[in-house]
Amino acid sequence: MEEEQQQQQNPETEVVAEATEQSQQEYTWPPIRFDVPPHRTYHFLNQFKTTSVPNNFLKGIKWSPDGSCFLTSSDDNTLRVFTLPENGSSHDFNANEQDSYAADLVVSEGESVHDFCWYPYMSASDPVSCVFATTARDHPIHLWDATTGLLRCTYRAYDAVDEITAAISVAFNPAGTKIFAGYNKSVRIFDIHRPGRDFKQYSTLQGNKEGQTGIISALAFSPTHTGMLATGSYSQTSAIYNEDNMELLYILHGQEGGITHDGLVHIYDLQTGQWISGFRAAADTVNGFSFHPYLPMAASSSGHRRFEAPDDGNGDLHLTGDENCASVWSFSYASMDNDVDVVNASDSNSQPEHENLHQDP
C-alpha cells in the first residue's frame, strides 16, 4: 500500500489522471440504435456452477473504468474478472458453445459479498491502479489487486462493542481518494491512503430524527463531478447528499419495491421519461446491467436463489442456459461520419434469441 500511496502522490501520476479525465470528458458515444435489439456476443454459464454451490447465481456485474474487462460477483462468495478479447464486438456467439472463455482472475471472499466497485481511474496499462473494493458479511472492506488477485489492504469499521461491522454498500468518490460505505443509518468514509480503522462517520438521521432510516444499501456519485452522492436504503427512501460534508440536500419517498424479475431490460429516454425499447436478457431475474464506457456494448448478469420442491427427489433444478449466467451484448449504432446505420452481421440471426418488446400506449 506504501507503493500505491507514493504512486498516488507522484506529480506525474496526477498529470496522467488529469489527462485521462479530460479525454473521457471529450469522448462522444456513438449514436446507439436502441430501437434495434442487441445481439449476444459472449456468454458465461458453466464456470459459475460449482460442486459445493450447484445453485450458484450471479449477483452483479460491472465494467472496469477503462473498458478492458468486467467484474462479476456470485453467490459462491467469488468475484471473477473477464478480459474483453481484442476482437471485441466482432465476435459472434454460437448458441451451441459453452462458455465463451474463462475468467482471467478468480478471487474468493470468506462470506457472502454485499457489494463491490472499481477504482475510478483503473487502467490496465497501470498495474498500480488495477484494484477493486469489496465488502462481505462479517468482514472489513477489502481492496484487491485485479491483476494478481492479492489483497492490497483492508478498511475496518467497528460497532459500539468494538466488533468489526460489515458495510452493505461501497463506492469510490469520483476523485478516487476516498471509499464511502453504507451501514445501518450511517455512512462511513475511509481515506484510501490510510487503511485500517481510521474513518469518519456520518449519521443519515438528523437531530430531530428526520432523514434516512434503515440500512444504506446503495451508493452512487454523480458522473458529472457535481459533488453529490445518492443513497438508497431499506426504508424505501433515496437521498442526495453533499459529498464534502454529507449535508442532506434532498430525501425522496415513494418507492414501493423491486422493478422487475422477468428477465427483461427496459430502456427509457432520460429527457422525456418515455419507454424506448427493451429486450430479454435472460430467462430469470436480471440483477446487473452495465454499459461499456466507450463501446456500444453492455454486460448483464442474471439469477436468483432457487429451492427444490419438497416432493422433488432428483434434486435437479432444470436450469437452462439463460439462467444464472453472464452475457455481453453488442448494440447496433449509426456511423458518425455519414449517418449510415451500422448493424451487426448476426442481427438477422438473433431474433430467436431475443424478444422485441412492445409497450401499449
The per-residue b/e assignment along 61-70, b for 16 or more CB within 10 angstroms, e otherwise, is: bbbbbbbbbb
Whether 116 is covered by a domain: the verdict is yes
Q: Is residue 14 part of a domain?
A: no
Instruction: Report yes or no on 20 lying in a domain.
Output: no
Place of cell 470468506: 110
For residue 108, the 8-state DSSP code is E
Residue 342's pLDDT is what?
Answer: 55
CA 311 – CA 86 distance, rounded (Å): 49
pLDDT at 53: 72
Is residue 348 a part of any domain in this protein? yes
Q: Cα(73)–Cα(88) distance, rounded to whole angstroms?
A: 22
CA dihedral of residues 116, 120, 124, 128 (deg, nearest 10): -90
From 82, 46, 115, 145, select the one nearest 328 (Cα to Cα): 82
> Cβ neighbours of residue 121 under 8 Å, at least 6 residues apart?
17, 20, 21, 65, 129, 176
Task: Tell me whether residue 26 is in a domain.
Answer: no
Amino acid at 220: A
Assess if residue 241 is contained within a domain. Answer: yes
pLDDT at 31 (0 to 100)? 84
Tens-digit pLDDT profile for the chain (361 aa)? 444 444 444 433 343 344 345 444 556 767 888 888 899 999 999 899 877 777 888 999 999 999 999 999 999 999 999 999 987 666 666 665 689 999 999 999 999 999 999 999 999 999 999 999 999 999 999 999 999 999 999 999 998 888 999 999 999 999 999 999 999 999 999 999 999 999 999 999 977 778 899 999 999 999 888 899 999 998 888 899 999 999 999 888 766 655 556 677 888 777 787 888 788 877 778 889 999 999 999 999 988 766 555 555 544 455 554 578 899 999 998 765 555 555 443 443 333 333 443 333 3
Measured from the Cβ of residue 21, the count of other Cβ atoms closer than 10 Å reads 15
CATH code of the domain in which 96 resides: 2.130.10.10
Length of the chain: 361
DSSP-assigned letter for residue 227: S
Looking at the 3D structure of the chain, how many domains does it have?
1
Helix axes 11-26, 2-9, angle to 10 degrees: 70
Domain encompassing residue 287: 41-306+318-353
* pLDDT on residue 305: 67
Cα-based torsion angle of the residue sequence 38, 43, 45, 48 in order, rounded to the nearest 10 degrees: -110
Does residue 256 lie in a domain region?
A: yes
Residue 62 forms part of a structural domain:
yes
pTM above 0.85, yes or no: no
